[in-house]
């Protein structure tokens, strides 16, 4: 006799921008140590589309519209000896962002490709210290004068 399988409904959403695909590295839980698209369990009363959008936002901070979603597949995954079957709803979406996000280590920031004022106030930003500042620019690259003052409150 084969045991009845419990069905777990999951979403999996891949965000594409041109020739690049956004992946997330799973730090914990099922699939730990693997790169994947974003997704998770569909809640009771939730549509798979709403779950796909919610999971993407929760896991990456990226927000996409309902109408941008393209449903590509329904896949079933069975693991031998498991009493659970994974039903994965696969989606893709294309984004056209004005900014291209990228994480930098705080000791390796690309100041030569940032605004000239940034290197002056970044130490306070990184230390989360409050400040007021004023910068005067001669041109887009050159600061003629500035001041920065730490404050207790803004």
Residues that bind ligand 6OG (CB under 6 A): 10-12, 29-31, 36, 39-41, 77, 86, 88
Per the listing, tokens 């589309």 go with 49
Looking at beta carbons, which residue is closest to ligand 6OG? 39
Enumerate the β-bridge partners of residue 37. Answer: none
Residue whose CB is less far from ligand 6OG, 36 or 136: 36
State how beta strands 131-137 and 143-150 pair: antiparallel
Task: Tell the smallest beta-carbon distance from residue 65 to ligand 6OG (Å).
Answer: 20
Residue whose CB is less far from ligand 6OG, 31 or 123: 31
Residue whose CB is less far from ligand 6OG, 29 or 101: 29
Instruction: Determine the Cα–Cα distance for residues 142 and 103; give it in Å rounded to an integer.
Output: 26
Token pair of 11 as six digits: 């979403």
Task: Tell the smallest beta-carbon distance from residue 26 to ligand 6OG (Å).
Answer: 7
Residue whose CB is less far from ligand 6OG, 36 or 119: 36
Instruction: Determine the Cα–Cα distance for residues 124 and 130; give it in Å rounded to an integer.
Output: 7
Q: What is the DSSP letter of 138?
A: S
Task: Tell the smallest beta-carbon distance from residue 79 to ligand 6OG (Å).
Answer: 8
Instruction: Determine the Cα–Cα distance for residues 108 and 45; give it in Å rounded to an integer.
Output: 45
């Amino acid at each position: 006799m084969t045991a009845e399988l419990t069905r777990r409904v999951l979403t999996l959403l891949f965000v594409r921008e041109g020739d690049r695909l956004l992946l997330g590295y799973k730090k914990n839980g099922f699939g730990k140590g693997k790169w994947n698209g974003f997704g998770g369990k569909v809640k009771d009363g939730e549509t798979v589309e709403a779950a796909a959008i919610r999971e993407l936002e929760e896991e990456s901070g990226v927000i996409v519209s309902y109408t941008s979603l393209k449903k590509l597949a329904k896949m079933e995954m069975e693991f031998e000896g498991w009493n659970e079957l994974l039903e994965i709803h696969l989606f893709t979406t294309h984004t056209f962002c004005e900014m291209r996000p990228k994480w930098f280590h705080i000791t390796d920031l690309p100041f030569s490709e940032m605004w000239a004022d940034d290197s002056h106030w970044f130490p306070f930003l990184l230390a989360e210290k409050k400040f007021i500042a004023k910068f005067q620019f001669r041109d887009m690259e050159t600061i003629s004068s500035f001041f920065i003052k730490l404050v207790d409150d803004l």
